[in-house]
Every structure is written in structure tokens, then in C-alpha cells.
Amino acid sequence: LFVEAPLGANGRVVIEEGQAHYLLHVMRAKPGDRISLFNGRDGEWLAEVKETAKRTCTVECTVRIEPQSEVPDLWLVFAPVKKTPADYLTQKATELGVRVLQPVLTRRTIVTRVNTERMCANAVEAAEQSGRVTVPEIREPLSFDKLLAAWPAERRILFCDEGGDCLPIAEALRQAPAAPWAVFTGPEGGFDPAERAALRALPHVTPVSLGGRILRADTAALAALAVWQSVCGD
Ligand code: SAM
């Protein structure tokens, strides 16, 4: 279970709200039961249920069962799409080991609002079920121009470009210099010509193909992450 509180030997944590509901009414936790906790900083801890109340569950950490570890340094920059809320993409990207999810609003993006709170909740749930001891950082949406203007120079962009004339993704990754990466995917209608040109003009951008078919935006993002993990991941 993910908690915000610090974790350490004999430390008590009061679990509230949705997680307390899950423990009390789904898992039917009672004093003496054991659960595991992580907070993204202190590793994974075994904890014993000490007290249960109507809406809270108090547990006490006993022993650390996993040291803190990091997922590979991979970001996903994606243009949200209207038909599929970002929930599914957030869950799957979390399972695939992404460290940062950054929604980007491009010229052809139709969505006007991204529910980052719900994305956070999905990321926590997926981190819990996939055995990560970290939760990816969910960033607030940024416009394409603002994002590129503030882009960290050391991070390479893996630009998923369905427009052809680029290397297949695995080959491009094998040839590229070692660097932290960000996968970039576009919205329903793809990046517009000016955005494509702007991306391709940057020195730290590698345009890549995901094959001869046009993939749905979320399929493209997940396919690119899976290939990155198999070529560069842990
Ligand atoms: N109209 C569909 C939809 O609504 O999901 C297709 C969207 S596709 C244009 C969205 C993004 O997926 C593109 O901007 C690109 O980043 C990525 N993409 C899709 N197919 C790809 C391919 N074969 N190679 C590289 N990138 C691809």
C-alpha cells in the first residue's frame, strides 16, 4: 500500500480514506494482520495492523523487506486524447516503469482539461499492483511551445513520428548516444507540420517509427515504452 508518511522501525501510520476503506472493508483487515507499505523514499516495509476503527486503520512498521530502488530514468510526454481518458495510459506507463508523465497540449489537441488528480490515483494503484516502490511523478499539462522552451538539454527526445523517413525505434535506440530519454507522442491528428519541424530541428531529438501502421495515440505511447524498456531498460 502506498502511504505519504515516513516509514521506519516501530513507526506507526494511520491509514485513512480510500485506503482505509480498502483495508477495512475489502481486505477485512483486523489487528495482527500484516500488510506491506511503501512511500517512494524508504523502501518497502512489512507492517502489522494495530487498531481498526470505522474509518481508520493504524499499523506499525516491523521490518524493511525491500530497499528503496528507482525505476529507469524514462519520461513519457503525451498529448491527451478525447476518447480515452489518461487513466489507462497512466496505469500502463506506470507498469512499464515510467518515472515522469507529462501531458502536452499541442495545436491539434482537442482535450482542454486533464484530470491529473485521477492520473495520480491511477499511478498509485498501478505502482502498488506492479510492485514498484516508487510512484511516477504526474506533471500539470504544458503547451507544446512552453514545454520545448524549458526542455532540459541533457534529456533526449524519442519522437514517435508516423510520417515515415525515420529509423525503426529499436534500431534508432541502439545507435543513439546514452542519455536519459523522454518518449513523445502526439494527439488524434498527430503533431502539426510546424511542430514536427520544430521537433526535428532540435539537436537532441531522435525521430522514430513504430511500424507501417498508424497506431492509436495510447497504443503508440505504450509500444514505444515497451521497446525502450527492452533495449535500454533494467
Ligand atoms: N487517429 C488515431 C487516434 O485517434 O488515436 C491515431 C493517432 S496517431 C496520429 C497519434 C500519435 O501516435 C502520433 O502523433 C505519433 O506520435 C504516434 N504514432 C502512431 N503511429 C505511429 C507510427 N507508426 N510510428 C511512430 N509514431 C506513431
For ligand 1, the distance from its centroid to the CA atom of residue 78, given in whole angstroms, is 11
In whole angstroms, give the CA distance from residue 234 to residue 226: 12
For 48, the 3-state DSSP assignment is strand
Q: How much is the pLDDT for 164?
A: 77
Q: How much is the pLDDT for 215?
A: 97
pLDDT band, very low/low/confident/very high, at 193 (cuts 50, 70, 90): very high
DSSP code of 143?
E
pLDDT band, very low/low/confident/very high, at 87 (cuts 50, 70, 90): very high
The C-alpha cell of 102 is what? 507529462
Q: How much is the pLDDT for 83?
A: 84
160 lines ligand 1 (CB under 6 A): yes
pLDDT band, very low/low/confident/very high, at 148 (cuts 50, 70, 90): very high
190 lines ligand 1 (CB under 6 A): yes
Residue 69 has pLDDT above 90, yes or no: no
Strand partners, 188: none
Q: How much is the pLDDT for 205?
A: 96
Q: What is the mean pLDDT of residues 98-111?
A: 97
Q: Which atom of ligand 1 is nearest to the CA of 218?
A: 5
For ligand 1, the distance from its centroid to the CA atom of residue 127, given in whole angstroms, is 26
pLDDT band, very low/low/confident/very high, at 172 (cuts 50, 70, 90): very high
Q: How much is the pLDDT for 84?
A: 83
Mean pLDDT of the chain: 95
159 with 181: CB under 8 angstroms?
A: no
Q: The pTM is what?
A: 0.90
CA distances from 169 to 96, 159, 212 (A): 17, 9, 12
Q: What is the mean pLDDT of residues 59-78?
A: 94
Q: Which atom of ligand 1 is nearest to the CA of 211?
A: 23
1 with 15: CB under 8 angstroms?
A: yes
Q: What is the mean pLDDT of residues 57-64?
A: 96
For 39, the 3-state DSSP assignment is coil
